[in-house]
Structure 1
Amino acid sequence: MLTSGLSYQIMLHGFLLWASMGFLMPIGILVIRMSNRQECRRRLKIILYIHATLQVLSLLLVTAAAIMSIRNFENSFKNNHQRIGLALYGAIWLQTGTGFLRPDRGSKGRSIWFSVHWLLGITVSILGIINIYTGLQAYHTKTLINTGVWNLAFTVEIAVIMFIYLLQEKWHYVKQSRVILSDEPIRPTDQETSSTDEKKELSAMPSSSEPC
């Protein structure tokens, strides 16, 4: 029979794991994908800092969840949730470590680093999702409380994240298609031609504004 204190600790452990692996980590992945076709160095740095902040917060929360598990729960590693959790904890630290070793774009070894960091990120994401489901199953087994609503809610959340992930992949082409469709040839009048020539002369002058 679970005490109220232990039940609260289990729920807090589950919330920390969800906030880390089920929320912050996926949001961090969606954020960094915004840099794929970003040419502005300032915006690229902002995106990178947001991604790094989300990943570090995710690491801190999953570490807190792991400490709670070690201090308060039985860790015999007889169920899948505990085994996957151990592998997940090692993988997320390794993935975070490779993130801090990020080479500059165009430098030697960048492609190798990108492949390793990407594979680790995918591994952490998959293990995190599986571990949340196995955690809900373990909670149901221990308390006999129905977790169907939580399973459904998490499944809907993952579906929404996957939709946004796929939409990011195609959004660039959608924007390009809109530009092409709206780019209709218009015959300029004499006044428009004169205005265009003036704009060309102004654009040829050196600009004092800083590049993006």
Structure 2
Amino acid sequence: MGVEKNVIAFLIQVSLVAYMLPSVSSSQEQIKVINSHSSTKDNHHKMNPELQFQIIVHGFLLWTSMGFLMPIGILIIRISNRDENGRRARIVFYVHAVLQMLAVLLGTAGAIMSIKNFNNSFNNNHQRVGVALYGIIWLQAILGIFRPQRESKRRSVWFFPHWIIGTAVTSLGVLNVYTGLLAYQEKTFKSIRIWVILFTIQVAVVVFLYLLQDKWVYMQKQGEVFSTGLQRTNSDDKKKELKAESC
């Protein structure tokens, strides 16, 4: 009986140890996760102020380049395409060219800053899309420089890739501004809400103006049609009155 009691006691102890092991292991894992998170947070807070400043400058350069100048340049060139005044159309075209080249230079400055100062492991979408954009904007600039004349047969062949690449640069640029803001928040734990709101308002205004340009000529023609129709109606009424008087 003494042996049986000892065996039973030993089994009870083994069962208790087996029961306690998962909870101890889970607690240790939680402690490791907490310690890892706090260590990461400490590293973020200990970020060099100079590095934070460089990140902010990089962000504003790309915001200005991809998020503002490129879309505004597209809006302006669409105005020149509808302007029948040759001199005014040329002025608008030169404004478009200046804005686009300025956007390319600012984007290149942001790229150089990123390569020189940041840890480019390319393990996130912001860095991957950014690398693609740095190459595409220069391809677009080269296409713009070597554009054929309007009367040339090659103009239509040139226009399609120029339009496709320009649209891609603007769309990806806007997307990358958003991913850049998220990356900044992850690195610094600072709120980006106000910047997201401001950039979204800016994008909405540009899109509205872009869509309005398509309808502006149509709206003007509607007014012309209405005034022409009204003049015709008044003229017909006067003719009828003259006929009635003559009778």
Q: Distance in 1 between matches of 2:90 and 2:203?
A: 27
Aligned residues: 188
1:111-165 CA distance string (max 9 Å, x none):
1111010000011011101110110010011111111221121111111110000
1:61-96 Cα deviation digits (max 9, x unpaired): 001111111111111111111110000011100011
Following superposition, the deviation at residue 49 of structure 1 comes to 0.4
- What is the CA–CA distance in structure 2 between the aligned matches of 1:28 and 1:48, rounded to whole Å? 9
Q: Alpha-carbon deviation of 1:53?
A: 0.2
Residue 176 in 1 paired to residue 176 in 2? no
* Correspondence 1:94 to 2:126: no
* Identity %, equivalent residues: 55
Match of 2:188 among 123, 128, 143: 143
Partner of 1:40: 85
Unmatched 5+ stretches in structure 1: 188-212
More helix by share: 2
Matched residue type, 2:75: L
Correspondence for 1:204: none
SS at match of 2:82: coil
Q: Structure 2 regions of 5+ residues with no counterpart? A: 1-45, 236-247
What SS does the aligned partner of 1:36 have? helix
Residues 24-63 of structure 1 correspond to what in structure 2 (within 5 A)? 24-63=69-108
| TM-score, with length taken from structure 1 | 0.85
- Residue type of the alignment partner of 2:190: I
Q: Which residue of 2 aligns with 1:131?
A: 176
Residue 47 of structure 1, CA deviation = 1.2
Aligned match of 1:109:
154
Q: State the TM-score, normalized to the length of structure 2.
A: 0.74
Cα distance in 1 for residues equivalent to 2:142 and 2:51 = 33
Aligned partners of 2:135 and 2:175: how far apart in 1? 15
Give the structure 1 partner of residue 111 of structure 2. Answer: 66
Q: Which has the greater radius of gyration? A: 2
Q: 1:14 corresponds to which residue?
A: 59
The code of the aligned residue for 2:202 comes to E
Q: Is the 8 A contact 2:61 2:109 kept in 1?
A: yes
Query: What is the alpha-carbon distance in structure 1 between the residues aligned to residue 82 and residue 124 of structure 2?
Result: 43
Deviation, 1:37, is 2.0
Partners of 1:160 and 1:71 in 2: how far apart?
34
